[in-house]
């Protein structure tokens, strides 16, 4: 499995606090069956994002796990004015494995209308925004039509694996399930911060998905799509939104091999 959203890089944000914690998280990921992992510290006003330090942390971990686990870097990108100015000049600082996919995080207290244009501008710059853990965001949960609009615009959605298992509460679980049924989820990731409350574990979600939605969907959301993002390739699994396909809620979404967007 491939985990594109973790806070495994130590001493950068609210994730791993030490090298020992990062090493423990990596060992846990390997044991769980994860082969590729992306360290995505917050690029947020509350956390200084220093690309050189991010790379240094990644290189240190890779040297310890060469041949056992492949590390890459990215970030949990906050749509602040300063970040949006910086990414226009230096997109590779922020993207997954310095390719073209970008994890985008929204605040829990406000999502102004200008964010729609901000996402559009990122796409015009050649980036592929991935909306992170919207099922945990109360503002998006109560106004899911906005999320669906972003998907139609060409954005992708990453749900936290533990949300499907009820670890973030009933509302997050119900939204994750509803959006899976609607064809509105493209990735599952751990968003791991430690080895206890938020560990780098994906196998439980894989088993859950395989039972509830089939082997193809489980592999698409936890192996094929994440690996494509890791390598900077088009996603192999992009389901059409159920309502756009004229399907009733809970019906199987239509799988589309490719999707092209013209601005």
- pTM, two decimal places: 0.91
pLDDT at 207 over 90: yes
Reported as a single tens digit per residue, the pLDDT across 74-99 is 999 999 889 999 999 999 999 999 99
Residue 28 CB coordination number (10 Å): 18
Return mean pLDDT, the chain: 92
Closest CA to 139 of 117, 109, 172, 164: 109
pLDDT given for residue 246 in this prediction: 52
Q: How far is CA 152 from the centre of its chain?
A: 18
Please name the residues in contact with 242: beta carbons below 8 A apart, sequence gap of 6 or more: 181, 182, 183, 248, 249, 251, 253
- In order of their start, the domains of the chain are 2-256 (3.20.20.140)
Q: Map residue 157 onto helix, strand or coil.
A: strand
Quote the DSSP letter at residue 18. Answer: S
Q: How far apart are CA 236 and CA 226, in angstroms?
A: 10
By CB atoms closer than 10 A (0-12, 13-18, 19+), residue 173 is middle
Confidence label for 253 from pLDDT (cuts 50, 70 and 90):
very low
pLDDT given for residue 262 in this prediction: 32
Closest CA to 227 of 92, 62, 70: 70
pLDDT given for residue 245 in this prediction: 55
């Amino acid at each position: 499995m491939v985990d594109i959203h973790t806070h495994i890089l130590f001493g950068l944000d609210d994730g791993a606090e030490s090298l020992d914690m990062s090493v423990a998280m990596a060992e846990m990921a390997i044991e769980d069956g994860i082969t590729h992992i992306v360290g995505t510290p917050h690029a947020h006003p509350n956390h200084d994002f220093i690309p050189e330090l991010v790379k240094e942390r990644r290189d240190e971990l890779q040297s310890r796990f060469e041949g056992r686990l492949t590390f890459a870097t990215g970030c949990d990108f906050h749509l602040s004015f300063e970040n949006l100015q910086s990414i226009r000049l230096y997109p590779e600082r922020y993207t997954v494995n310095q390719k073209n996919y970008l994890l985008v995080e929204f605040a829990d207290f406000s999502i102004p209308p200008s964010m729609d244009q901000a996402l559009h501008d990122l796409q015009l710059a050649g980036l592929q925004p991935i909306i992170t853990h919207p099922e945990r965001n109360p503002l998006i949960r109560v106004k899911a039509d906005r999320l669906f609009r972003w998907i139609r615009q060409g954005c992708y959605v990453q749900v936290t694996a533990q949300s499907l298992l009820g670890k973030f509460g009933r509302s997050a679980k119900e939204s994750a399930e509803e959006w899976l049924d609607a064809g509105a989820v493209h990735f599952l990731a751990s968003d791991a911060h430690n080895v206890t409350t938020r560990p780098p574990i994906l196998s439980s979600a894989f088993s859950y998905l395989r039972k509830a939605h089939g082997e193809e969907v489980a592999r698409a959301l936890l192996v094929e799509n994440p690996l494509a993002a890791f390598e900077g390739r088009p996603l192999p699994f992009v389901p059409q939104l159920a309502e756009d396909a004229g399907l009733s809620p809970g019906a199987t979404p239509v799988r589309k091999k490719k999707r092209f967007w013209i601005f």
